[in-house]
Amino acid sequence: MAEALALPFFQRVLVAGLLASVACGVIGAYVVARRIASLSGGLAHAAFGGVGLSYLVGVAPMAGAAGFALVAALVVGFAERRMRSGLDALITMVWSVGMALGVVFVALAPGYAPDLMSYLFGSLLFAPWSYVAVVAGLDVAILGAVVLFHPYFEAVCFDEEFAEATGVPTEPLFLALLALAALAIVTLIRVVGAVLAIGLLTIPAATARRFADGLRPMMVLAVAICAACTTGGLFLSYGLAERFGVSIPPGPLVVLLAAAGYALSGVAVRLRARA
């Protein structure tokens, strides 16, 4: 462990992973409480279309991913409020069309084709300091919105009908919540990739919900769980490569650790109930 921490590149990716965990835990708590994991999954895959478009037009992949994910958030958000049936089909279309457009845009992009695997399943080990700065900026934006509007977001998550009856503008708040989820997903693309982002966004929050009494404690615990899984995945990936020559990206390991934590939390809850 000390050997890894002495490496400049490992220090960089560890900071990036911990910063991404903040957005992941905070917004993940809203996503789980509001039960919009499937909608957020569509945003994660739509973001991949933005990555492909960014290579086609020559802009930063993070910018393209954020733009695509935000547009998808508005489309799905408006549909969720108005469609009484067929929403699951729309989410599936957003999911698949985003992935398809990403592949098409990359194929049309001039020059050398980028490694799509790094965006599908993460490539945190190669994340530059510019990515760390972007994630830090997104964290500030997300936390600022949460500090300002948390009581309203909480009302939308738990009792939207009552909130609307008391004059709370629930539709704009719901769209804002989806937009924050889209930004959180963008921070996770380098950590675990577009395919696995929804897992890291929801699994730590679902684990935290089993032990937290309210939404704020759930956020804090979800951030801690996400940070622990991200750190553990990075060290495990580095250790496997150094000790056994097995090269496994940290992204899948992070999600597997989160899933293992969720399973163990279920066992712990049952044992506590029997005691």
Query: Do the domain assignments include residue 274?
Result: no
Tell me the per-residue pLDDT of 191-209, one tens digit each, with 9 for 90 and over.
888 878 888 999 999 999 9
134-187 confidence digits (pLDDT tens)? 899 999 999 999 999 999 999 999 988 888 898 899 999 999 999 999 999 888
Q: Find the mean pLDDT for residues 71-97.
A: 80
Residue 275 lies in a domain: no
Residue 185 domain-assigned? Answer: yes
Q: Is the separation of the CB atoms in 4 and 181 below 8 Å? A: no
Domain count, the chain: 1
Each residue's pLDDT tens digit, 227-265: 999 999 999 999 999 989 898 988 899 999 999 999 999
Give the structural domain span for 225: 2-122+138-261
Q: What's 9's domain CATH number?
A: 1.10.3470.10
Identify whether 249 is part of a domain: yes
Burial (CB < 10 A; 0-12, 13-18, 19+), residue 90, is middle
Residue 114 confidence (pLDDT) above 80 = no
- Structural domain includes residue 129: no
Q: What gap in Å lies between CA 130 and CA 53, rounded to an integer? A: 20
Q: Could you tell me if residue 131 is inside a domain?
A: no
Provide the token pair at 253.
């390991």
Portion of the chain with pLDDT greater than 90, in percent? 49
Query: 274 pLDDT exceeds 60?
Result: yes
What's the rounded Cα separation, in Å, for the pair 272 and 267?
A: 9
Q: Which residue has the higher pLDDT, 262 or 121?
A: 262
Give one word for 168, left, alpha or beta, with left for phi > 0 and alpha for psi -120 to 50. Answer: beta
Residue at 132 is within a domain: no
Q: Output the pLDDT for position 172.
A: 93
Determine, yes or no, domain membership for 268.
no
134 contacts: CB under 8 Å, gap ≥ 6: 62, 187
User: Whole-number mean pLDDT of the chain?
Assistant: 89
- The mean pLDDT of 32-41, rounded to a whole number, is 87
Q: Please give the C-alpha separations between residue 214 and each of 34, 163, 202, 208, in angstroms, as whole numbers.
A: 13, 18, 16, 10
